[in-house]
Amino acid sequence: MVKDKKITTSAHEALGEIESDKKRHFNVVFIGHVDAGKSTIGGQILFLSGQVDDRTIQKYEKEAKDKSRESWYMAYIMDTNEEERVKGITVEVGRAYFETETSRFTILDAPGHKSYVPNMISGASQADVGVLVISARKGEFETGYERGGQTREHVQLAKTLGVTKLLVVVNKMDDPTVKWSKERYDEIESKMIPFLKSSGYNVKKDVQFLPISGLIGANLKTRMDKSICSWWNGPCLFEALDAVEVPFRDPKGSFRMPIIDKFKDMGTVVMGKVECGSVCEGDSLMVMPNKAQVKVLAVFCDEDRVKRAGPGENLRVRLSAVEEEDILSGFVLCSVANPIHGVTEFVSQLQILELLDNAIFTAGYKAVLHIHSVVEECEIVELLQQIDPKTKKPMKKKVLFVKNGAVVVCRIQVNNLICIEKFSDFPQLGRFTLRTEGKTIAVGKVTDLA
């Protein structure tokens, strides 16, 4: 994981009490096909919001030039390890912070390359808002959008992982093959809208399109200059992010924080995003599924120690009474009075997207399950009923196997205890994807715990 970048603390000094922190907090995940410009946009945002100074930018510019990769220098702000810089692709999920007048944002820069989709899933599962980056450059949009391109898979995954709001930024509008062409922008929008609808997005309410250039920073922090693009009258990216309505999370509910990482630092420190409830220094909590009772020694929000933090925050929590090696990614820090469920079997409603060639989805089918920060091998043990896509009601006839596009209720088994909830109780902890051989084959939600 990229080392967290230090940000101004003014917004967090008031965070001792949740109520006194006026700024809303969002996790924003940047998704899209490899080379669409996600890391460059992330870097440009940090530069424009004052998180990176000119000297650092000049250093990156020189470094990129030395590698004969002049246009990659902004991406170096987000892509900090050498492998990422040499290949020009993001591997890990980069993490950085910036703020606007009304909101604080954590950027999650997800990998676009298909080999690193599991990393993208872990990034998107922590996000509230998605920024889908599409390249307007001739040929690049088509490659990302066609069958096998990452644009499609990322949209479907984002929807499944609970990213309900999507900003679709059409990037590289300054490219010589585009030259801020309204026709090219409209063509991309008209092709994307039916696909977004079929993925379950309400395009009128939850999706917004806007043209940008990540490389030159056009339409990011300030509205588009009419001399560059006369036809655009909409908002810039910062305004669009500020206008997004955050989903409600209950600060008084039972505490739930899926653990995405852990390390030793004067005790055991766990990292994650609070999905429900609040945590205070001194609280007694439980780590599930191993039922370890722990005490909260300290809570850190971004770089700052706080007394208390609520839902939606990305935290580092220092715990006593548990060893770092006894915690795995996918475990959940939760309240003692109402702990999360640990199960090896559950009932789910699945939508089959696209099976591998010649594969049949039936009892005995094996796949890899991704649910919040859990990654586990699983097996379909029983198909219970098929759902009629038109009426949304169960079909009468017994179901033995299903094909692409089917919706089916089935029983799924995993080898190790995993922490999950019913989708109806905690949506973020009850939606999942199934993948086989590097491809997402189904998305689903937990309907019952066995």
The backbone torsions φ and ψ at residue 2, rounded to the nearest 5 degrees and listed phi first, read: -70, 140
pLDDT (tens digit, 9 = 90+) per residue, 389-445?
Answer: 788 889 988 899 999 889 999 999 999 999 999 999 988 899 888 989 888 899 899
CB atoms under 10 Å from CB of 53, counted, come to 10
Please give the torsion angle defined by the CA atoms of residues 241, 243, 248 and 252, in that order, rounded to the nearest 10 degrees.
90
Two structure tokens written together for 55? 């000297």
Return the H-helix or E-strand segment holding 360.
Answer: none
Please, what is the angle between helix 150-160 and helix 182-198, to 10°?
50
Alpha-carbon distance 424 to 434, whole Å?
A: 20
CA 44 centroid distance within chain:
20
Helices (H), 233-330: 237-243
CA distances from 330 to 258, 287, 412, 429 (A): 6, 11, 18, 11
Return the H-helix or E-strand segment holding 150.
Answer: helix 150-160
CA distances from 183 to 1, 151, 187, 231, 287 (A): 40, 21, 6, 11, 54
Q: Maximum CA pair distance of the chain?
A: 68
Angle at alpha carbon of residue 112, lines to 91 and 176, rounded to 5°: 120
**pLDDT of 318:** 95
**pLDDT of 164:** 84
Q: Which of 420, 417, 263 is nearest to 327 (CA)?
A: 263
Q: Which of 348, 437, 368, 434 is nearest to 157 (CA)?
A: 434
Please give the torsion angle defined by the CA atoms of residues 26, 196, 144 and 106, in that order, rounded to the nearest 10 degrees.
0
Please, what is the angle between helix 117-124 and helix 150-160, to 10°?
40
Go through the chain and tell me how many residues it has: 450
Return the H-helix or E-strand segment holding 204.
Answer: helix 203-206
Q: Do residues 280 and 229 make contact, with C-beta atoms less than 8 angstroms apart?
A: no
345 beta partners: 413
Alpha-carbon distance 382 to 412, whole Å?
A: 7
Alpha-carbon distance 217 to 270, whole Å?
A: 36
DSSP string for 179-217: TT-HHHHHHHHHHHHHHHHHTT--HHHHEEEEE-BTTTT
Q: Which residues make Cβ contacts (< 8 Å) with residue 66, sequence separation at least 6? A: none
Alpha-carbon distance 295 to 121, whole Å?
A: 30
347 beta partners: 411, 448
Helices (H), 75-149: 82-87, 117-124, 140-145
Alpha-carbon distance 314 to 275, whole Å?
A: 10
Two structure tokens written together for 414? 């995993």
Per-residue pLDDT of the chain (450 residues; tens, 9 = 90+): 333 333 333 333 333 444 335 688 888 888 887 777 877 888 888 888 887 767 766 776 677 676 655 554 566 555 444 443 344 443 344 467 888 888 888 876 554 445 444 555 655 666 788 899 999 999 999 888 886 677 887 787 777 777 889 999 999 999 999 999 999 999 999 999 998 988 889 999 999 999 999 989 999 999 999 999 999 999 999 999 999 987 778 889 999 999 988 889 888 999 888 989 999 999 999 999 999 999 999 999 877 899 999 998 888 999 999 999 999 989 999 999 999 999 999 999 998 988 988 789 999 999 999 898 898 999 999 999 999 878 888 998 889 999 988 999 999 999 999 999 999 998 889 988 898 988 889 989 999 997
Q: Which of 375, 267, 378, 377 is nearest to 331 (CA)?
A: 375
β-pair type (284-288, 332-335)? antiparallel
CA 363 centroid distance within chain:
31
3-state secondary structure of 40: helix
Q: Do residues 34 and 89 make contact, with C-beta atoms less than 8 angstroms apart?
A: yes
**pLDDT of 116:** 41
**pLDDT of 87:** 42
Alpha-carbon distance 109 to 120, whole Å?
A: 8
pLDDT (tens digit, 9 = 90+) per residue, 142-168?
Answer: 888 886 677 887 787 777 777 889 999
